[in-house]
Amino acid sequence: ELKVEQNPLFLSMQEGKNYTIYCNYSTTSDRLYWYRQDPGKSLESLFVLLSNGAVKQEGRLMASLDTKARLSTLHITAAVHDLSATYFCAVDAGGTSYGKLTFGQGTILTVHP
């Protein structure tokens, strides 16, 4: 059974600081997704990582994938208040389970002035 673990689960940051959220998964996959969720809202797609070594960047967020280590990271650069949200990674195990995403627990990010 595929398991996906994120850490930390809670992250309180000061504006302007950098930090990284980690996403580990238990079985082979080359398809990993990052989503953002604001309180009371649905999931917004941030990144799709489809191969070993993939790196994607959008604004202050950068995501990477190491399929050999079964690890993805979401790096936050010079955090701003607008980045406060819950961030989820999700893994598609593929094969007969294609399309079935297994999500991490989510990381609640709060950015303080």
Binding site for other proteins (CB under 8 A): 31, 33, 35, 41-45, 48, 50, 88, 90, 92, 94, 96-103, 105-106
- Report the DSSP beta bridge partners of residue 58: 61
Q: How far is the CB of 52 from other proteins (least distance, A)?
A: 14
Q: How far is the CB of 84 from other proteins (least distance, A)?
A: 19
99 versus 113: smaller Cβ distance to other proteins: 99
